[in-house]
């Protein structure tokens, strides 16, 4: 488990992380979303134990992570700008990883080579950017980490490879309870793999949600009545957003499907539909609820 508690980080006078708290359960995938400069990389590096917060606590397996050598053997961070020793081939990097990570799996290294179709004897810096990213995943997954921290990991990967790598990550989460934190500025890029998502903006965690909860407790409702109705009749509903298109009301309502259905049936509408929302719509309305326009943050 990863626990971040009231973490603050400043670079000179700039507050880059502002009282951030979050928890990532073992065997789950947490998506950290935010625009450029939001603080994602800083937070990931703090979780990976590479930089130290000014205050607050960052714990992995209930131990402080900064400069903790035993935790580093269990945790791999793939940065947004990759680093490999110049002149090294993947085979040479694999030897290096084998010495660093006690659970290194050489059989897997050979299997993945066939699936990725990359020459392990070629110098890594001679590969394209996307191929270098594949090498980073190849090495990271063969180290069999318990924790995988990924900074904008899918940038520059073609859709086929992206799908393949996502499925490997999900497999490791399902089969051996690997825990993953993945950052992105794009919701659609990570929504298919995450169990929970947090949105960070200007160093603050604005919103944090389990995706299953999100989808089950927010609904779009279209309604029309024979006659004008007073706004008061909707007072019992937790309305996040409402608009009127002609004679049709469109509401975004938080709550259990059955409760909403029951309350609205009592109002005797002539049109009544409860519709599902896309994840992007859910975030738009949730963010509106906390006073931010998501377009300024994620889109």
**Contact with ligand ATP (CB under 6 A): which of 6, 37, 102, 174?**
37
Stretch that binds ligand ATP, among 31-39, 83-91, 127-135, 260-268 (CB under 6 A): 31-39
The answer to the question of residue 145 lying near ligand ATP (CB under 6 A) is no
> Smallest distance from the beta carbon of 6 to ligand ATP, in angstroms?
18
- Interface of this chain with ligand ATP, residues 66 to 85, rule: CB under 6 A: 80
How many other β-carbons are positioned within 10 Å of the β-carbon of residue 158? 11
Q: How many residues bind ligand ATP (CB under 6 A)?
A: 12
Stretch that binds ligand ATP, among 33-41, 153-161, 269-277, 291-299 (CB under 6 A): 33-41
> Smallest distance from the beta carbon of 205 to ligand ATP, in angstroms?
12
**Contact with ligand ATP (CB under 6 A): which of 24, 31, 40, 206?**
40
- Interface of this chain with ligand ATP, residues 180 to 219, rule: CB under 6 A: 185
Q: How many residues does the chain have?
A: 299
**Contact with ligand ATP (CB under 6 A): which of 13, 36, 121, 245?**
36
> Smallest distance from the beta carbon of 265 to ligand ATP, in angstroms?
46
Cα torsion 85, 91, 95, 100 to 10°: value is 60
Stretch that binds ligand ATP, among 35-43, 230-238, 245-253, 264-272 (CB under 6 A): 35-43
Take residue 33 and report the two structure tokens written for it.
């979303």
Stretch that binds ligand ATP, among 29-37, 84-92, 107-115, 281-289 (CB under 6 A): 29-37
User: Quick check: 170 and 150 in contact, CB under 8 A?
Assistant: no
* Cβ distance to ligand ATP smaller for residue 118 or 150: 150
The answer to the question of residue 87 lying near ligand ATP (CB under 6 A) is no
> Smallest distance from the beta carbon of 62 to ligand ATP, in angstroms?
25
3-state secondary structure the chain: CEEEEEEEEEECCEEEEEEEEEEECCCCEEEEECCCCCCHHHHHHHHCCCCCCCEEEEEECCEECCCCHHHHCCEEEECCCCCCCCCCEHHHHHHHHHHHCCCCCHHHHHHHHHHHCCCCCCEHHHCCHHHHHHHHHHHHHHCCCCEEEEECCCCCCCHHHHHHHHHHHHHHHHHHCCEEEEEECCHHHHCCCCCEEEEEECCEEEEEEEHHHHHHCEEEEEEECCCCCCHHHHCCCEEEEEEEECCEEEEEEECCHHHHHHHHHCCCCCEEEEECCCHHHHHHHHHHHCCCCHHHCCC
**Contact with ligand ATP (CB under 6 A): which of 39, 120, 198, 269?**
39
* Cβ distance to ligand ATP smaller for residue 41 or 134: 41
- Interface of this chain with ligand ATP, residues 106 to 125, rule: CB under 6 A: none
The angle formed by the CA atoms of residues 202, 204 and 207, to the nearest 5 degrees, is: 120
**Contact with ligand ATP (CB under 6 A): which of 4, 24, 42, 146?**
42
> Smallest distance from the beta carbon of 75 to ligand ATP, in angstroms?
19
* Cβ distance to ligand ATP smaller for residue 185 or 254: 185
Pairing of strands 238-245, 218-224: unpaired
**Contact with ligand ATP (CB under 6 A): which of 16, 33, 136, 221?**
16
Phi, psi angles (nearest 5°) of residue 219: -140, 150
Query: Which chain residues interact with ligand ATP by CB under 6 A?
Result: 11, 16, 34, 36-42, 80, 185
């Amino acid at each position: 488990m990863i626990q971040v508690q009231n973490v603050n980080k400043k670079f000179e006078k700039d507050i880059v992380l502002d009282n951030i708290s979050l928890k990532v359960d073992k065997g789950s995938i947490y998506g950290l979303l935010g625009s450029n400069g939001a603080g994602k990389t800083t937070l990931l590096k703090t979780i990976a134990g590479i930089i130290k917060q000014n205050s607050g606590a960052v714990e992995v397996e209930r131990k402080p992570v900064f400069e903790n050598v035993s935790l580093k053997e269990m945790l791999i961070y793939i940065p947004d700008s990759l680093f490999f020793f110049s002149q090294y081939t993947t085979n040479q990097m694999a030897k290096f990883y084998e010495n660093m990570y006690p659970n290194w799996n050489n059989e897997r290294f050979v299997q993945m080579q066939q699936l990725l179709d990359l020459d392990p004897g070629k110098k890594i810096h001679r590969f394209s950017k996307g191929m270098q990213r594949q090498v980073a995943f190849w090495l990271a997954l063969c180290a069999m980490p318990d924790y995988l921290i990924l900074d904008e990991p899918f940038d520059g990967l073609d859709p086929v490879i992206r799908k393949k790598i996502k499925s490997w990550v999900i497999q490791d989460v399902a089969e051996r309870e690997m825990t993953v934190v993945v950052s992105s500025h794009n919701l659609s890029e990570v929504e298919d793999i995450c169990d929970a998502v947090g949105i960070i903006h200007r160093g603050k965690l604005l919103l944090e949600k389990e995706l299953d909860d999100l989808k089950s407790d927010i609904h779009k409702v279209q309604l029309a009545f024979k006659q004008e109705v007073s706004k008061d009749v909707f007072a019992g509903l937790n309305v996040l957003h409402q608009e009127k298109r002609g004679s049709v009301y469109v509401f975004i309502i938080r709550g259990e499907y059955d409760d909403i259905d029951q309350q609205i049936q009592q109002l005797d509408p002539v049109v009544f539909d409860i519709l599902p929302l896309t994840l992007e719509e859910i975030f738009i309305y949730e963010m509106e609820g906390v006073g931010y326009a998501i377009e300024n943050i994620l889109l």
